[in-house]
Amino acid sequence: ACSLLRSPKGFPKLKNDTFLRAARGEETEHTPVWCMRQAGRYLPEFRETRATQDFFATCRSPKLCCELTLQPLRRFPLDAAIIFSDILVVPQALGMEVVMVPGKGPTFTEPLKEVEDLLKLRQKVDVTAELGYVFQAITLTRHSLEGKVPLIGFSGAPWTLMSYMIEGGGSSTMAKAKSWLYRHPEASHRLLRLLADVIIDYLVGQVAAGAQALQLFESHAGHLGPELFQDFALPYIRDIAQAVKSKLKEEALPLVPMIIFAKDAHYALRDLGHASYEVVGLDWTIRPQEARAQIGKDVTLQGNLDPCALYAPKEKIGELVKKMLEGFGTQRYIANLGHGLYPDMNPEHVGAFVEAVHAHSRHINKH
């Protein structure tokens, strides 16, 4: 299905636009649903495709990214696809080396230690030269989807990427990265600005390549409190949405809906609702009604079933989905998990989740 011999434009007509309609706040017959990390290790076919190949080499192969993106759609009636890639391709574009270490995860061979290390980063990034492989994967996948569902592009947000670049990988405290915010605020802003500028060009390039929606992942928001978030995360989150939109206009590209997912950032929901994103993604630790009260009626919400709920028996998953839909309401809402799928999850339970969203939301809409 993923052959590179298609023209870059002249994309197939979209057959199921439920996800895009919900993102824009238009009425939908059923609540659309997709899952973070739906192209992932819980699928045996994913493990098989990935087995022989280094992780980042896979990210750099448009054909493999296309295949991995399409796999979950062959199994489940999902309402959106999200391109298979990784948020750490942006630090790579800045010249940093990241390797995937089995059992440990992504690891930077030389993390940023001192402020002087910022000088080692590329100050001007040509995203087409550095990240063109992602654009190719998007174009190829958009053709190969044959209009089945919309394709979502994404990026990590500046603070989340900065925290990886300084920590050198995952961390339970983010103490090294946070110490920069307290000890070197100016240098931190320099780094965050550099990241934001690259992310803006990267996201615009994804739309030019065929992405029909964009999600910004501020996965490490929970390590910041309200003050640090206000100073070091929110201004860049806001700026990215506004700059992407104005560049899309300038370049006569489609104005696609944008989603902000700031994990564990309850303290900032009101601000995120006013940050120029059409959709605010929620993790599983907040009640739908509370989120709606803070974010208001003019923004679509996305989320937020606890991923671990998928370990429950299928009937129980159905009950939890029904409760979630009653909490959010079926309109101005995109169903999802409150974080990504885990590698040991049963694909059948993912199917039960997707089908329950469709069945219960149709039922609620009729009555």
SS (H, E, C) 202-232: HHHHHHHHCCCEEEEEECCHHHCCHHHHHHH
Which residues does 250 contact at the CB level (< 8 Å), separation at least 6? none
Measured CA to CA in angstroms, residue 42 lies from 185, 302, 343 at distances of 40, 22, 4
Name which of 126, 147, 5 is nearest 62 in CA terms.
Answer: 5
User: Rounded to whole angstroms, how far apart are CA atoms 134 and 209?
Assistant: 9
Please identify every residue annotated as catalytic: 37, 41, 50, 86, 164
Q: How many CA atoms lie within 13 A of 35 on its CB side?
A: 31
Query: In which element (H, E) is residue 102 found?
Result: none
Instruction: Give the type of residue at 61.
Output: S
Give the separation between CA 11 and CA 30, rounded to whole angstroms: 25
Tokens of 140: 């190829």
Among residues 221, 239, 219, 209, the alpha carbon closest in space to that of 83 is found at 209
**Rg of the chain over CA atoms, in angstroms?**
20
